[in-house]
Amino acid sequence: MARHASPVQSLLVDDRFDGDVYAHEPLSRHTTYRIGGPARFFVRANSVGALTGLVDVCAAEGTPWVVLGRGSNVLVADAGFAGVAIVLGRDFRTLRFDDDRFIVGAGASLSAVVQEAFKRAIGGFEFAVGTPGTVGGALRMNAGTADEWIGQRVVSVTTYRPGRGLARRRGDEIAWGYRASSFAADEVILECELAAEAADPYRVRDKMEGNLARRKGCQPLSEPTCGSVFKNPEGASAGRLIEGAGCKGAEVGGAKVSELHGNFIVNCGGATAADVRALMEQVRAAVLESTGVELVPEVRMLGFDEDFPSARGADEAFGDECARGAAGGTSAGTGASVASTAGSAPSTGERGTPSADAAAGETAGEVGALSTGEGRDEDGRRG
């Protein structure tokens, strides 16, 4: 190693580092949008030791770092991310059932939990059918509906923060809000316990299949998207507001507002992050003018110099401990976990495999699992 190598570079080239490292890896390969420039380093950390060692060194050296889920709820800038993009590998993808709860690694797909719940006739997870992304991303974003969300199922969560170490908290010690939680921006979710309750298997099946059918009927699940672009304003539907403002079908470059659902922006082929951002601003302005409502992005943005205008202060209700740092680009010395759930998803663990393809396969596989009663391995997509 050359003398001028940074501590981060020295760690990543060490043969003892338990992970896979790729320099200048295009993040378009790891997002369901198929959009995004390169990360300085793309790292799959396969163990707790590798992960904690890496984020500690990044934090100490002031190197920007981010933990990605499966790329289904993130828009990466065309210039990429001038830091270390980390995904959770081998040891974080575990899923087991113990007595009355699921014990799940943060890198496991939420769809794997849904399928296991289906196989075991466990209720309480029907709301998550068709929801992509990792369990860690689902927790950070508190994935769910207006009536049910994953935070309601959390018994405990184990996390790591550079400089503070490991921590385990009860679910009721965490603040759960709409598309938000009180995890700190530099707090990495490692594992959780989710409460499981026996239920009528026929009722579980009917509810899951009904939810999945509704999503397939009104959302462009087979196209490259990030999932829902904007949060629903209180008492209203972002999709309906966007449709009412006449924005369905609007286009900027290769980005288009879905004809199927107004709150989805589709990459029609060759869309850039700049196209998507410009279309988001166009939609936001149209809704503001027609209704007086200012839409707030749900999609997390990585690598941009500035936040999306209406994202500023959006998470202030949760204070400094909320994961608002994930809402925009990270700055030097700052870590952030970008929630990819509900998010939205794909297999960021497979280098070079377009996340959107894996996401579409996940939805199809989930349908098959519900039809046959057979579970599958991990990997998912946003509804």
What DSSP string describes 92-118? Answer: G--EEEETTEEEEETTSBHHHHHHHHH
Element (H, E) at 22: strand 19-26
Give dist(CA 152, CA 195) in Å, integer.
9
List, by residue range, all CATH 3.90.78.10 domains of the chain.
222-323
Element (H, E) at 367: helix 355-372
DSSP state of 233: P
Residue-wise pLDDT tens digits, 237-249:
999 999 999 999 9
222 in active site: no
Residue type, 266: V
- Residue 121 Rama label (left phi>0; alpha psi -120 to 50; beta): left
Residue type, 340: S
228 in active site: yes
Of the listed 34, 179, 215, 300, which one is catalytic? 179
What is the reported pLDDT for 4?
A: 67
Element (H, E) at 279: helix 273-291
Residue 11 CB contacts under 8 Å (≥ 6 apart), including other chains:
17, 53, 54, 57
Of the listed 181, 228, 340, 347, which one is catalytic? 228
What is the reported pLDDT for 3?
A: 57
Domain 222-323 fold is 3.90.78
What is the pTM (predicted TM-score) of this model?
0.82
Q: Does domain 11-91 have CATH number 3.30.43.10?
A: yes
Place of tokens 């009528």: 200
Give dist(CA 40, CA 24) in Å, integer.
5
CA-to-CA dists, residue 344 to 132, 140, 142, 258, 300, angstroms: 4, 12, 12, 17, 11
**For the chain, which residues score pLDDT lower than 70?**
1-4, 217, 220, 310-383
Of the listed 116, 298, 366, 378, which one is catalytic? 298
What is the reported pLDDT for 209?
A: 86
Q: Give the burial class of 292: count Cβ atoms within 10 A of its Cβ; 0-12 exposed, 13-18 middle, 19 or more buried.
A: exposed
Tell me the CATH number of domain 93-203, given options 3.30.465.10, 3.40.50.720, 1.10.3720.10, 3.30.1370.100: 3.30.465.10
Give dist(CA 285, CA 295) in Å, integer.
9
What is the reported pLDDT for 321?
A: 30
86 and 63 Cβ atoms separated by less than 8 Å: no
List, by residue range, all CATH 3.30.465.10 domains of the chain.
93-203
What is the reported pLDDT for 255?
A: 98
Give dist(CA 194, CA 113) in Å, integer.
10
Element (H, E) at 37: none
315 and 180 Cβ atoms separated by less than 8 Å: yes
What is the reported pLDDT for 188?
A: 98
Specify the pairing of strand 255-257 against strand 38-45: unpaired
CA-wise closest residue to 349 among 103, 105, 69, 36: 69
What is the reported pLDDT for 211?
A: 78
Give dist(CA 328, CA 154) in Å, integer.
27
Taking the CB of residue 270, how many other CB atoms lie within 10 A of it? 11
Checking 8-14 for CB contacts under 8 A at 24+ apart, the result is 8/41, 8/54, 8/57, 8/58, 8/61, 8/63, 8/84, 11/53, 11/54, 11/57, 12/41, 12/43, 12/54
List, by residue range, all CATH 3.30.43.10 domains of the chain.
11-91
286 and 247 Cβ atoms separated by less than 8 Å: yes
